[in-house]
Amino acid sequence: MYIFNTTFMIADSIVDDWKQWMNRNYIPTMKDLVKDIRVELYEVMAVVEEGNTNFSCQMQVSNPADLDTINKYNAVLVNNVKGKFGDKCLTFSSILNEVQLG
């Protein structure tokens, strides 16, 4: 399994607008592009910076081609959200590959 993680650092003043954008744009677009995707959104509790809330959006897929699609379109969507919210929305992404133990 692969996980494409995008972490968002969102200014508290725009959290509600950002959540709407995620629900109306980011998540539906990813679900339209990749049929067998699992999308989960978490609040990051370990990193606390006054005035901001951090979120982790994790998209799980089993196919490397789906991972490539997510990587490609994530860049477009992240540029879109940065254009909308400016420096009130910072992001970084990482790709994880599940390790089988034993």
Question: Could you tell me the CATH number of the domain that includes residue 83?
Answer: 3.30.70.600
Centroid of chain to Cα 98 = 18
pLDDT at 25: 95
Does 26 fall in a domain? yes
pTM of the full structure: 0.90
Q: Whose CA is closest to 57, among 77, 38, 40?
A: 40
Q: Whose CA is closest to 12, among 50, 61, 58?
A: 50
Encode the chain (102 residues) as per-residue pLDDT tens digits. Answer: 999 999 999 999 999 999 999 999 999 999 999 999 999 999 999 877 899 999 999 999 999 999 999 999 999 999 999 999 999 999 999 999 989 898
pLDDT at 59: 97
Residue 55: Cβ within 10 Å count: 18
pLDDT at 46: 86
Does 24 fall in a domain? yes
Number of domains forming the structure of the chain: 1
Does 102 fall in a domain? no
Exposed e or buried b per residue across 1-20, where buried means at least 16 C-beta atoms within 10 angstroms of its C-beta? ebbbbbbbbbbeebbeebee
Residue 59: Cβ within 10 Å count: 23
Range list of β-strands (E), 14-73 = 38-43, 52-61
Containing domain of residue 61, as a range?
2-97
pLDDT at 47: 72
